[in-house]
Every structure is written in structure tokens, then in C-alpha cells.
Structure 1
Amino acid sequence: MMLPNSLLFLFLLMSSSLAQPTSSKQDMLIQCLTYHSKVPIPFSTTFFTPNSSAFTTILASTADNLRYIVPSVPKPEFIFTPTHDSQVQAAVICTKQLGIHLRVRSGGHDYEGLSYVSQIETPFIVVDLAKLRSVNVDIQQNTAWIQAGATIGEVYYRIAEKSTTHGFPAGVCTSLGVGGHITGGAYGAMMRKYGLAADNVVNARIVDVNGRNLDREAMGEDLFWAIRGGGGASFGIILWWKIKLVPVPSTVTVFTVAKTLEQGGTKLLHKWQQVAATELDEDLFIRVIIQLTSDSKSGKKTVATLYQGQFLGGVERLLQVMQTGFPELSLTQKDCTETTWIKSVLYIANYPSGTQPEILLQGKSTTKIYYKAKSDFVKDPIPETGLEGLRKRLMKETTPMMIWTPYGGMMSNISESAIPFPHRTVLFKIQYLTIWQAANQNEAKHIDWIRKLYSYMAPYVTKSPRQAYVNYRDLDLGINKKSNISFIKASAWGNRYFKDNFNRLIEIKTKVDPENFFRHEQSIPPRPLPARRTRN
């Protein structure tokens, strides 16, 4: 009987390892990758072990949460940085054949480090897509094909390079890796006008569990639905997204207005909750950044609210919209700057004034911090008494931050089941952060503080389930375990991230990856395989 080429190669490879005890897993993996890749692999610049001089640099290159690269955290056995789609296919085929656990990283902004850390399963390797970052913009067709390793900032730049009246509604942070970003939904400053990035994806290419490179037609509509908001690394490895570009005006207006509590900040924040999602023009996005500052008169620590806005239009119409819908902010022309869409991206991302768009081509984040984050969604305005209690708790932490992001507009016009992202009929989303600057700098104290704050907020946020955003992974909500997947435990976080869509995600996972090859601490679990029948 003739064996298929792939089985014959595996047989020879395993026989070789038995005949040569000194043959290492690394050698076997390299041989397998070489065999299955359609193009030569330059291993000296793409394959790194802990003994490689560049290993630590590569591992830390896009890890934005320093908590997960400290010495005590498990490190991968190898890091592979493919330069061609077929090399990603080979990585799936080979790790599956050799029984090696695989993690995939496109940008490294996952809050719990799940793309480059495995806390429950070792050894493991990381496939880092950072070298796969092409962005091919077609203005005539209003589309672009983008590789998973590109950052959203690079995508923005390449669109603006071709047109001043096209854009894309994705993330505020420009160093986000596109691959994982869109798998969670991906919100940004144009979400109230155009929805999420995932709402504007028209095709994709994914490597499935069998190493096949599939487009939308080949993968089928179920899998295409699942990857647009169902969370990263559960169904395969995203290689490319095809996105639909959206129109933007030649003039965009941005502004920031700061108010402390001594300046009526509590009442203003209460009013913002009532109008930001439901009353304001969908061309207007105003988020609120809440953090500590020093009072200008007394010098004492106080809580500041920064109202940061982007308006798709000129300042004259913006002021009319504000006067009608949110006069309490007292926005003036002096507060506003008219600019282009691409420069408004830089503004919202908090680049210094005068920064040129070319900085977006640097890709990687320059901000490396230790932090813990959590998220919530709010359907009814938090009363002023609740805001006052929140203020007191913020004052107890060293470097707390909250970001309130308004929904409404197009977001509320899209069905909760259109894609796995279900958080449509809410007023706003809350992101909680606590930040510190050095390893072991009272980490337990900071994490205890944010957990207590999260508990305090329970009466004011969504319930049954208490919703959370999958791109802000939070392992406090529960984790999968390799050998004992509990669906009751998985639903504890799955229902929060996906609501009723979680059940459909499980069915699709069971269909496309029944043995759970693509897995991490909060990946979508398949239903258990049927137990084998035994004869009495």
C-alpha cells in the first residue's frame, strides 16, 4: 500500500528520531517545516530558541504587558516568524504531527499575554506573524487586502496614502496587530458611523486545522461568521483580511476638554451618559478618559475627566451639534482643531501635536507597562451617587484609568447575532486599568484594587450576563484546562463575551476543530468527542 506523501514523510521522520536518539524536537520541527513549506525558509532569521541571542528581543518585541515576559513566566521553546503564507500552513501541519502546542501572535496586545504565554500547557511554541504585513489598497473597489501581521496604524497610513476621503473604522491604538484585533470585533472612533472593523470585513484567508489556506467561499459562511468577532486563535490562523473602506470627509475636527470634579465633573459625566450614545449625531464620537491629576489651585490629587472627540466634519457644524445635544460641555472653537482623517487618527491615539503620519509605519508600540485590565458594558446611566463612590475608589489607587466609549448610532442598528460580537444595545463600554512601572511593584495590591473596583461596579452594569469585551481578555472570568474542559466553567466567560452567540461558536468549533488543536486559556471549546464503545 502506498502512503500519501505527508504520511510517508511523518513515518520517515519519526523513524529517524527513533534511530537517532540525539535528534531533538527542534531538528524534527525544522525538517518538517522545510518539507511542507512551498518556499525556502531562512531559519537563521526566522527560527529562534532560548539560546538564540535575539530570542528575548523577539519575544518582547510586541508584548505590551510586561507582566508576561518576567523571568518567572513560562517561555516558548521556539519562536517561528514566517515570511510566507505557506510557512504558516507548514507550522500548523508540523506542530500537529509532532504534538507540539502552538500559540499565534499578530500584535501582542492581548491583555493576558495568551498569544505568547501558555500558563496551563507547556512546552509550547509561538508563531509570530510580524513579518507578514502587506497592505494592498484598491481605491477603485473601495477595498483592501491586509496581512495579519500588519498593524492597524499601517493600514490607516496605506489607505490615506491613496486617498484623503477613504478610511476604515477600527482601533484607536495604532500598534494593534490586525490579525487578532478584528477577530474580537475591533471598535474605534468611527464605530457610531460605520460599526466595527469586523462589520466591514468582506473576505478572509485562514489556515485551518488541516493546514489548508481557505478563503470565504472555501471555509463556508459559518466559519467566516465565527472569525469576525469570535475571539482569536480558536478556529485557525488568520492570514489575510479583505476589508471594505468607508468614506470620510476631507475635513475632520478633533478636540479634548478636561474637567475635574471641582469643575462640576460629576454632573457633566452623568449628562454624558444620557446623550453620548443616544442623542448626538453619529458623525460625533466623544469618549471619556478618567484618571488622577493634581488640582491647579490646591495641588491636591483629584479625579479628572477628559472628553476626547472626533467629528466627521468641520468645526462650524460640530458646534451646532454640540449646542443642540451637549451644551453642558461648553465646547468652543478654541478647543477644536480641523484636520484630515489620518491626522485625527494620530490625535485620538495621543501622539504629540505635530507628529507626522509616517510614524504609523513604525508598527510596534513604544509603550511597555505592567497592567491589569477589565471591562464592562452599561445600559442605564450610573447615578451621581454611584459616580461619587467611583471617585473615592479611584483616589485610593496610584495610577488608575478608566475609558468610557459611547455606542449608539450604527452600533445599535446591527443585530446582536450578525457576527459573534453581541454588545449592540448598550450606552457605553468601560475599560478599567491599573498601571505600574516595575516588576513586583506591589502587583498583588494593584490587582486586588481593580478586582474590588469591579465588584463595586456590579450594580451599575449589565447583568445576566455581566458582559465583557473579548479583546480585553480577563482570566479572572475563568479558564479552560487542557485535559478537563468544563462547559459550565467555559460558559462563565463565554456568555459574558458572546452572550447567546457562544452556543453557535461552540457548534462551529466542534465542526472545524473537534480535537481542539487551536486552544488557549479562553478559546472556544468543542463539544466532547463521543466516547468509544467497548465490548463486554
Structure 2
Amino acid sequence: MALRGLVALALLVLISRFSSCYLPPTPSSHGFIQCLTENIPSELIFTPGSRNFTGVLVSTIRNSRFLSANTAICIVTVTDASHVQAAVRCGRANGVRLRVRSGGHDYEGLSYRSVRPETFAVVDLADLRAITITTDGEHWAWVDSGATVGELYHTIGKHSTELAFPAGVCPTLGIGGHLSGGGIGSMMRKYGLSVDNVVDAKLVDASGDLLGSRAAMGEDLFWAIRGGGGESFGVVVSWKLRLVKVPSTVTVLRISRTLEQGAVDAVTKWQHVAPTLPDGINMEVLVQGRQAVFQSLYLGACHHILPTLASRLPELNATAADCNEMTWLESAAFINFGNTNTTALLDRSTGRLDSFFKNKSDYVRRAVARGVWLEIFTNWLSTNGSGLLILEPHGGLVGSIPAGATPYPHRSGVLYNIQYVASWSAGDGSSAAMNWVHSLYDFMGQHVSKSPREAYANFRDLDIGENKVVKDVSTFHNATVWGHKYFGSNFQRLATVKGKVDPTDYFRNEQSIPPLLETN
């Protein structure tokens, strides 16, 4: 009888484990919201019937394409890690999934919408935004995921004119989302990506437990959250960042060249030069219409970099008149607004709600031929005045860090990243703009990286693939279609980590990391 009892118990445990994987609770919106109100202040919970629901929803929607796509049963505007824990536990108990957003810059809106029919709620981190700078021989910043890049820059710059953090140029980027995909920025050639400077974190896992340190989550999970894509492994509520030193005076250069002024030759030459310039200078190119704008941040005074530019890239004919010297904090404002009003970095507003866009991305490992650039300028950009290409050079430190050090694999051998941007106004040319960006992307396929054709996870693009869900779990095999493009050979390791920390795939969206399980 004892043996039978043990067998029966083992069978019960096995059935229970199987059920937890494949038989989730039937979604209960009422039960979920009731659970929330018992654990979170009611003023932080907004249902579609709430007076301010729409205002909260659009508060960080950046792409108007998805204004009407939301079907969330509620939005939870958390202000403490315990609120995130409650949302996860209530969600698990009631079969409600979570979408998590910080700054709302997800290019496909997956941080606040679901493409497939699904019962979900939005956890909005915008009010979880504390920033604390500490010193213990080095300088660090603990930053909550809802803080923006602009808020982080402003806090650092007011603390010291000789400290900075390498991150993106857009001030309304949420730190949580930016770090989850890697964090390209204007100092990455000197100091690496944003994630290369993350030293600790606090995360709420799929059980609703708070893992308050790197040690608590383990090295595999800590590795995965630094660039492995948002909304896959849990909710990172706070990050510890290593601050970097910058001179008290930096220089912003902005040089424009039209097609008639030799823009094609300048861009063609730039491909070889920009990734090999001194690490202290980052020179991106914005290509639009018949013009290329070469925009640089140099960590130093103007007269120190001009001789290098004159010898390496004489096509630009850079002079002192092209230089703007200022503090690093002022440069963050200047690059965005054209002036040094640093308080503007604190503005979190979305601006216009009639801005529609579609983005795609590529990586270039072998320079594109001059004839191709001529065709891009004359046949593609000249026919779409709003179409934009942003070229971001690699090389330097970001290119010398091993591809497996973080999930971001686009390291050695990458010359630059391309972001394609198609934009339009409400009801104005959406089909033409979408056709333009897709056609240009197809045209560029023969000139960019191959096998896989690489893409940047933070420039999310559902065109390159979506997850397939079988028995309520995203399948690994189908996800490799897009996963290898974002993460290369790191994708399988990411899926293995996912299988250990969230085997039931609670945290998921259309491009989240699938759990690598035996059943896959």
C-alpha cells in the first residue's frame, strides 16, 4: 500500500506539472481586477470604463498606427516593485497575461497591444522612475525602468559635468525598453552599448517574486535581460548602471551635403572611415531626400578632431564653423532640439498623435558600392521626401566585445547599422509609405549582412517573423526565423534561459523569447 501511495503521489505531481504547462486558468477579467484592487491602490488601476483610461493609454504611445489597436482589460500604473509583483500573481491566478511598457517606443506597439486575440493587461512603468547616483570609488546610478533617457541624462549632468551614460539620443526613450534590446548610442564606440554598462538589476519573475540582485537571479538570467528583448524573462524594475567619464567640453558637429555637393561620394567614403575613427568620436549619417547630414559627437574640443577629419574624410571639408562646443548634457539637448535647453530633456509628452511610421533595420559588414548609393539617392529618396535612412557606425569598443558577452551579437566586423523610416500623416499616404519602405528593404537585401540578415531587436519588426503558439507555449523552431536575425547564435542560449525561468511562457508577445523545452 505504501508503494502504491508513492506511485499515486508521483503521478499526481506529474499531472500537476503537466497541467501547469498546458492548461492555464480560464481568463477571468473580473477576478484579475478584483485581485488587483485587493493588493494595489485602486487609483493606480484604470479600466476601459475609467474616466482617464484613454489619457493614460495614449500618454506614451509614440506611433499613432496603434492608437485603436488596444484591447487591454486594464492599465496598472505601478509606483513600486510590489505592485508589479501583485500584477504578476493576480495575472497568473486569473489567466490574464501582461504587456509591460516604459517609454512606449516599441516600434510594433507590443508593449501595450496584442496582435492575436488575448486577454491581457498593461503594466505601465512610467511612474516607476527614481534615479539615484552613488559613489564608492566609481560612480553608479540605480535607475528605475520607467525613467526616460532624458531624465537620466539630466540627473547625471546636474550631478557632474564630467559624468555621462552611453545610451540613445531620443530623450523620451524608457530606460527599461532601451536596455532590454541593447542600447545603441552616440558613445558606444568609446564605452560600448548601454547594456555593456549594466552591472546589476532587480527583476520580478514569472512567479511574482522579486529577485533583488544579480546574485539572486543568477548569471544566466542576468546575461539574458541585458539585450535579450523585453517582456520575455520577467519585469526588470530597476537597473544599476556604470557611469562613464567625459571631458567638461564636448563638441557636436553637423555637416550637410546635398547630392550636388557630393553627398554620394561622402557617404561612400564614410562607410570605411567612420568605424575606424578614434573611439572618442561617433559620426552618424541621416540621409533624406537629396541630402546627407553628418552628425558627430566628439568627446573633446573642436581643434583636436578637425585635423583627423581633414585627413580621413576630406569630402566633408569640416571647419571650426561646423563645431558647437558645450557640456555633454547640453549636447544631449542640442542633438535633439538644436539648442542647449537641457530642461527640455525632462519633457515626457508624446507630442502629436497623428504621427504614423514604419521602421526596419539592417547591418552592413561590407561597404555598399558607390553606384548603389547613387541609386538610393536618385531612385529611392528622391521619390519619397519623408523617407529617412539613419546610419550608425560601429567599430571601437562595441565591435571588440565578444558576440556572446551579451545577447546583442552585432559586434566584430559590423561597419554600421541602417534604420529605415517611413512616416506619414493621418489618412495621408500610408500605403505608399509602407510600400516604399518594404520595397527599399527588399532592394537592400543583396547589399547587407546575410545568413542571417541581421536586425536590431530594439527596432522591432514583425515582418521578419512572429511566434507560433502550440499548447499555450511559443515554439522554439518557428521563433528561430526572427530570433537568429536579432540575436544570432545567442538565440538558443536565450531560449534555454527562458525554459528555466519561465517554462510556461507566461511573459510573452509576438516576438518574445520562446522557452526551449523538450516538447519543442
Q: Shared fold by TM > 0.5? A: yes
Instruction: Please say if 1:462 is aligned against 2:453.
Output: no
Instruction: Please say if 1:33 is aligned against 2:20.
Output: no
1:487 shift after superposition: 3.2
Q: Secondary structure of the equivalent of 1:243?
A: strand
For 1:24-423, list aligned pairs within 5 A. Answer: 25-35=28-38, 37=39, 41-44=40-43, 46-70=44-68, 73-140=69-136, 141-214=138-211, 215-278=213-276, 280-292=277-289, 303-348=290-335, 350-354=336-340, 356-366=341-351, 368=353, 369-391=355-377, 392-423=379-410
> Which whole-Å deviations, capped at 9, do the CAs of 1:78-106 have from their partners, x for residues lacking one?
11101111010000011011001211111
Q: Which amino acid aligns with 1:59?
A: L
Q: Secondary structure of the equivalent of 1:519?
A: coil
Q: Give the distance between the partners of 1:410 and 1:463, measured in 2 at CA.
A: 23
Q: Give the distance between the partners of 1:237 and 1:103, measured in 2 at CA.
A: 10
Q: Secondary structure of the equivalent of 2:470?
A: coil
> Which whole-Å deviations, capped at 9, do the CAs of 1:396-451 have from their partners, x for residues lacking one?
2241001000011111110000000000120000000000011x433223212111
1:360 shift after superposition: 1.7
Which is worse superposed, 328-337 or 219-228?
Answer: 328-337
1:380 shift after superposition: 1.2
Q: Give the distance between the partners of 1:476 and 1:118, measured in 2 at CA.
A: 15
Which is worse superposed, 364-373 or 474-483?
Answer: 364-373
1:231 shift after superposition: 0.5
Q: 1:529 to 1:31 in 2, by over 3 A?
A: farther
> Which whole-Å deviations, capped at 9, do the CAs of 1:355-414 have from their partners, x for residues lacking one?
x21222223343551000000000111111111221211222241001000011111110
Specify the alignment match of 1:298 in structure 2: none
Q: Give the distance between the partners of 2:76 and 2:190, measured in 1 at CA.
A: 39
Q: Give the distance between the partners of 1:265 and 1:323, measured in 2 at CA.
A: 16
Q: 1:139 to 1:321 in 2, by over 3 A?
A: farther
> Which whole-Å deviations, capped at 9, do the CAs of 1:466-517 have from their partners, x for residues lacking one?
0000000000001013337443331111000000000100100001000000
| Structure 1: stretches of 5+ with no match in the other structure | 1-23, 293-302, 532-536
Specify the alignment match of 1:437 in structure 2: 425
State whether residues 120 and 481 of structure 1, in contact with CA within 8 Å, keep that contact through their aligned partners in structure 2.
no
Specify the alignment match of 2:9 in structure 1: none
Specify the alignment match of 1:521 in structure 2: 510
Q: Give the distance between the partners of 2:499 and 2:198, measured in 1 at CA.
A: 24
Q: Give the distance between the partners of 2:490 and 2:218, measured in 1 at CA.
A: 18
Specify the alignment match of 1:5 in structure 2: none
Which is worse superposed, 317-326 or 416-425?
Answer: 317-326
Give the alignment's TM-score, normalised by structure 2: 0.91
1:29 shift after superposition: 2.5
State whether residues 104 and 128 of structure 1, in contact with CA within 8 Å, keep that contact through their aligned partners in structure 2.
yes
Give the alignment's TM-score, normalised by structure 1: 0.88
Q: Secondary structure of the equivalent of 1:88?
A: helix
Determine which of 425, 434, 438 is the counterpart of 1:451. Answer: 438
Q: Give the distance between the partners of 1:389 and 1:497, measured in 2 at CA.
A: 28
State whether residues 150 and 363 of structure 1, in contact with CA within 8 Å, keep that contact through their aligned partners in structure 2.
no
Instruction: Please say if 1:499 is aligned against 2:495.
Output: no
State whether residues 476 and 495 of structure 2, in contact with CA within 8 Å, keep that contact through their aligned partners in structure 1.
no
Q: Give the distance between the partners of 2:348 and 2:406, measured in 1 at CA.
A: 28
Q: Give the distance between the partners of 1:76 and 1:337, measured in 2 at CA.
A: 46
State whether residues 74 and 119 of structure 1, in contact with CA within 8 Å, keep that contact through their aligned partners in structure 2.
no
Q: Give the distance between the partners of 2:510 and 2:42, measured in 1 at CA.
A: 30
Q: Give the distance between the partners of 1:218 and 1:386, measured in 2 at CA.
A: 51
Q: Which amino acid aligns with 1:518?
A: F
> Which whole-Å deviations, capped at 9, do the CAs of 1:46-99 have from their partners, x for residues lacking one?
1111121211111111110110113xx242111110111101000001101100
State whether residues 252 and 341 of structure 1, in contact with CA within 8 Å, keep that contact through their aligned partners in structure 2.
yes
1:527 shift after superposition: 2.6
1:109 shift after superposition: 0.1
Specify the alignment match of 2:24 in structure 1: none
Q: Which amino acid aligns with 1:177?
A: G
Specify the alignment match of 1:512 in structure 2: 501
Q: Secondary structure of the equivalent of 1:263?
A: coil
1:228 shift after superposition: 0.2
Q: 1:139 to 1:153 in 2, by over 3 A?
A: farther
State whether residues 254 and 310 of structure 1, in contact with CA within 8 Å, keep that contact through their aligned partners in structure 2.
yes
Q: Give the distance between the partners of 1:134 and 1:74, measured in 2 at CA.
A: 28
State whether residues 514 and 529 of structure 1, in contact with CA within 8 Å, keep that contact through their aligned partners in structure 2.
no
Q: Which amino acid aligns with 1:306?
A: V
Which is worse superposed, 130-139 or 464-473?
Answer: 130-139
State whether residues 100 and 125 of structure 1, in contact with CA within 8 Å, keep that contact through their aligned partners in structure 2.
yes
| Structure 2: stretches of 5+ with no match in the other structure | 1-26
